[in-house]
Homo-oligomer: A and B are copies of this chain.
Amino acid sequence: MLKNKATIKDVAELAGVSIKTVSRVTNREGSVKPDTLERVNQAIEQLNYQPNTAARNLAGRKSYALGYVYDNPNAYYVLDMQNGILAECRDRGYELVIHPCSATNKGIIDELATMVKRSQLAGLIISPPLSEMPDVLTGLDKLNIPYIRVISGSEVQVNSSPCVYINDRDAAFEITEHLIEQGHTKIAFLRGDECHRSSHERKIGYLQALEKHGIQSDHRYQIDGSYSFEFGVSGAKQLLQLEDPPTSIFSCNDEIAAGALFAVRLEGLDVPSQISIAGFEDSPFSRQTWPKLTTAAQPTNVIARKATASFIQYLSSRKDDDPHNDLVPHLQFKPELVLRESTLNQARNENVN
């Protein structure tokens, strides 16, 4: 296929040194006299030598590959994460190994361990819901596999592993407050999957906003479900059948909101004049409805990139014998409120695009 590349031997021969010395140079180990260094570098340049990664990995030492582990049904989210991670990896000369898996799989830890070993991964990047499962994390800790995780959380947990916190709680608080400011007091909440921490965080934010504004929390308005269009439809239907239905629905994500919107419009209600609907995530769903959805934007791509950058930094600086250094990265992001027509009475816009 491609040209046979120069090996370390060729370089050594040309520079008149042993292969070990060449290795010292390429790995910046030091202990090389300046003029030897010069000669070797010249030979490397002349032959356009690039160390063979396979041989390098085989022979031992660290690897230049990360793994991205996910179990998330949301294709948009996963691809956004993946693209962000990939962008940073390319920049830093790292490889990325993708690993979709099933969180319910009992042998998940073995599976991950095998993969890490096989591909000689330097560490793992883990997104929800896997990143929020204690068993998985302690399993990895036990095996001493480094990882950074993205989770839903409003506060940094000190002394824990590298982590990126998405402050869903405060963002949900803001969305709810926005609805209250629009004059709503009967605000329903459609919650996503039990196993996603974001479901709970967003609900907490919702409840806190109600409390702050002295609105009684009403259990009939709070329905638990899953992050799906279908639940949005059924949840909204259930709400509308109440003798005193809500005037607004805050859905735990855009997919649910799209379902709710669909169901509500089928009942002949106008959005937002008769009922307001808000989502969360700023996924394509939120723009592919009419009216477009008010939501909270989490720039997943950017988050993934920054997380990856921090993680790489962390990996190369950390000492194996000193796990408790102060360089453990803890990033925080808060999704931004995005106001659109689905909750804005005054700003109705008939244009779908």
Q: Which of A115-123, A129-137, A210-218 contacts B (4 or more CB under 8 A)?
A: A115-123
B95 touches A96 (CB 8 A): no
Q: Which of A256-289 contact B (CB under 8 A)?
A: 258-259, 262-263, 265-266, 284, 288-289
B1 with A53: CB separation less than 8 A: no
Q: How far is the CB of A128 from chain B (nearest CB, A)?
A: 16
Do A266 and B290 contact each other (CB < 8 Å), given the known contacts A1-B110, A58-B58? yes
The 8 A CB mask of A43-80 against B (1 = contact, 0 = none) is: 00000101111111110000100000000000110110
Interface centre among A1, A55, A100, A117 (most CB of B within 10 A): A1
Q: Are B53's CB and A143's CB within 8 A? A: no
Contact A110 B2 (CB under 8 A): yes
Q: Are B114 and A48 in contact (CB under 8 A)?
A: yes
**Nearest chain-B residue to A2 (Cβ)?**
B117
Q: Are A142 and B95 in contact (CB under 8 A)?
A: no
A353 and B50 within 8 A (CB): no
Contacts of A142 in B (CB 8 A): 1
Mask: chain A, 70-114; 1 = CB below 8 Å from B; 0 = not: 000001101100110010000000011110100000000110011
Q: Chain B residues with Cβ under 8 A from A143's Cβ?
A: 1, 3
Contact A352 B234 (CB under 8 A): yes
How far does the alpha carbon of A259 sit from the alpha carbon of B63 in the complex, in Å? 47
Return A94 CB to nearest CB of chain B, in Å. Answer: 11
Least CB distance, A192 to chain B, in whole angstroms: 16
Q: Closest residue of chain B to A87, judged by CB?
A: B100
Closest to A121 in B: B1
Contacting pair B352 A110 (CB below 8 A): no
Give A201-222 interface residues, CB cut-off 8 Å to B: none
Residue A144, interface by CB 8 Å: yes
B residues in contact with A50, CB < 8 Å? 114, 117-118
Question: Measured between C-beta atoms, what is the minimum distance from A214 to chain B in Å?
Answer: 36
CB of A5 within 8 A of CB of B54, answer: no
Q: How far is the CA of A48 from the CA of B112 in the complex (A)?
A: 12
Chain B residues whose C-beta falls within 8 Å of the C-beta of A255 in the assembled complex: 288
Q: How many residues of A contact B (CB 8 A)?
A: 60
Interchain nearest-CB distance for A21 vs B (Å): 21
Residues of B within 8 A of A113 (CB): 1-2
A11 vs chain B, min Cβ distance (A): 14
Are A353 and B1 interface neighbours, CB within 8 A?
no
Task: Name the contact of A54 in the complex, choosing from B58, B76, B83 (C-beta under 8 A).
Answer: B58
Kindly state whether residue A190 has any CB partner on chain B within 8 Å.
no
Which of A54, A78, A97 has the largest number of chain B CB atoms within 10 A? A54
Name the residue of chain B whose CB is nearest to the CB of A320: B1
Residue in contact with A86 in the complex, picked from B98, B116, B119, B229, CB distance below 8 Å: B98
A255–chain B nearest beta-carbon distance, Å: 8
In the complex, whether A180 has a CB less than 8 A from a CB of chain B is: no
* In the complex, A230 has a CB within 8 A of chain B: yes
Instruction: Indicate if A146 sits at the interface (CB-CB under 8 A).
Output: yes
Interchain CA distance A79-B86 in the complex, whole Å: 15
Known A-B contacts: A96-B97, A98-B98. Give 7 more (CB < 8 A). A1-B110, A2-B144, A3-B143, A48-B114, A54-B58, A79-B79, A233-B352
